[in-house]
Amino acid sequence: MLVEILDIVVSGLLMGGIYSLIAVGFSLQYGVARVLNIAHGEFMMLGAFITWMLYNVFGVNPLFSLAICGPIILIIGFLLYRTLFTRLRTSSESIGAYEGSSMLASFGLLFIIQNVAILIWGTDIKGYSYLNFGVNLGGAIFAANRLVTLLFAVVIGAAFYLFLARTHLGKAIRAAAQDPATAGLMGVNINQVLALCFGLGALMASFGGTLISMCYPIQPTMGFQYTIIAIIVVVLGGLGSIVGSFIGGFVLGLVGSIVSYWQPGLSLTAYYLLFIVLLLAKPTGILGK
């Protein structure tokens, strides 16, 4: 019995690690840069595929790929924001209008990125085996690659938290999140900071993608389902709260694990039920403002 509980809890955490990373990324993009990025999952997919390609062609260790894919996707995200979303922001009459149009623009991006991925890598499923052996933890067995994923998710999350709390740039980001106008007055280059936030959000997605590629098969259409999960987690944790998103990811992972134990067919349904119930009961989420 204890083993079963351990099993469920750890499985939930393993899943939750990935959820947390993508949710933090999404939260950065929405909470600070005010873009509801429907194409978030596509950045994750890109990270996953580039990692796969590096592993297959050059034999690069996926964990090392974190350092390669990450910056690439960060730059792509940064540039996208500087060109497309800044343009939208400056030409929108209100925040509401901007949120709407940026969401739709990101939808267009989804189409573009997915088609490009299909053209480059084809439509079939890809995967590779990395650290695919079991580790015995107190009687329950877990895949080593998933444990490593969890470790990295926590480390990245912690590192990011420190970045936000301690560094100059991090404080600028937090200022911009709280009140962009005032932050601008205080000498923060708003455009740069927001673009950086968006890029960092994409970076998180890319990290998530690399880690996922270690444990799961990947295909070009995989992105959207993770975007949805990011949305659910962000609502769970509170729109705008990065720490909330991080914790929320683990909570959702646990929920999924518990439901899967009983009835795997209902795991996704449970996510959505939780989602709509939460929105009705406490839309601001666990740690929301």
Partner 1 sequence: MKKKTFSPLLLVIPVIMFLFCATANVAPAKDTILIGQAVSLSGPNAIIHMAGGLPPQTLWVEGVNAKGGIYVKEYGKKLPIKWIQYDDKSDHGTLVRLIEKLILEDKVDFLLPPCSTSYLFAAAPVVNKHGYILLGAEGGAESLTELLKDLPYVFSVLNYSNTQIPLLADQFVAWGVKTVATTFLEDLHGVEYSNRALSEFAKRGIKTVMLKSHPLSNPDMSPILKAAKVTNADAFCSFSYPGENVLLTKQAIELGYNPKVFFGSVGPFALWFRDIFGAKTIEGLMGGGAWNAKTSPAAKDLYDGIIARFGEKGIDMWGNLYYWGALHFFEKAIEKAGTLDQKKVRDVMAKEKFQTPLGLTWFDENRNLAKECHPGEIGQWIKGQWEVILPNNKATAKPIFPKPPWPAPAPAKK
Partner 2 sequence: MDIPTLTSKRSLVSGSIILIMFILLAISPLYAPRYTVILLTSIFMYVVLTVSWAIFSGPTGYISLAPAAFFGVGIYTSAILGKALPLPIVICFGALASFCLALLVGALTLRLRGIYFAIFTFGLVEFIRHLLLFWECTVTGTRGRIVILVDQTTVYYVMLAIFAISLLTSYFIRGSKLGLALQSIGQEEDAAAHTGVNVTMVKVITFAISAFFMGAAGAIMATRWTYIDPYTAFNPLLSFMPVLMAIFGGMGQLYGPIIGAAIFTYLEEFLITRFPYHYMLIFGIIMVLAIVYLPDGVVGLLQKLWKRIPGRKHADT
Residue 91 binding: pick among partner 2, partner 1, none (C-beta 5-8 Å cut-off by kind)? partner 2
The distance of closest approach from Cβ of residue 247 to partner 1 in the complex, given in angstroms and rounded to an integer, is 19
Cβ-based nearer residue to partner 2, 20 or 114: 114
Between CA 194 and CA 33 the distance in angstroms is: 5
Cβ-based nearer residue to partner 1, 127 or 184: 127
CB contact at 8 A, 171 and 44: no
Question: What residues contact 207, with CB distance under 8 A and at least 6 apart?
Answer: 21, 47, 66, 69, 70, 152, 156
Binding footprint of partner 2 on the chain (CB under 8 A): 36, 84, 87-88, 91-92, 96, 99-101, 104-105, 107-116, 118-119, 228, 231-232, 235, 239, 265-266, 268-269, 272-273, 275-276, 279-280, 283
Residue 161 binding: pick among partner 2, partner 1, none (C-beta 5-8 Å cut-off by kind)? none
Cβ-based nearer residue to partner 2, 198 or 275: 275
CB contact at 8 A, 202 and 81: no
CB burial class (10 A; 0-12, 13-18, 19+) of residue 167?
exposed
End-to-end distance of the chain based on CA atoms, in angstroms? 39
Binding footprint of partner 1 on the chain (CB under 8 A): 7-8, 11, 15, 55-56, 59, 61, 114-115, 118, 122-134, 141-146, 215-217, 219, 221-222, 225, 256-257, 260-261, 263-265, 267-268
Query: DSSP of 131-169, one letter per residue?
Result: S-SEEEETTEEEEHHHHHHHHHHHHHHHHHHHHHHHSHH
Residue 192 binding: pick among partner 1, partner 2, none (C-beta 5-8 Å cut-off by kind)? none
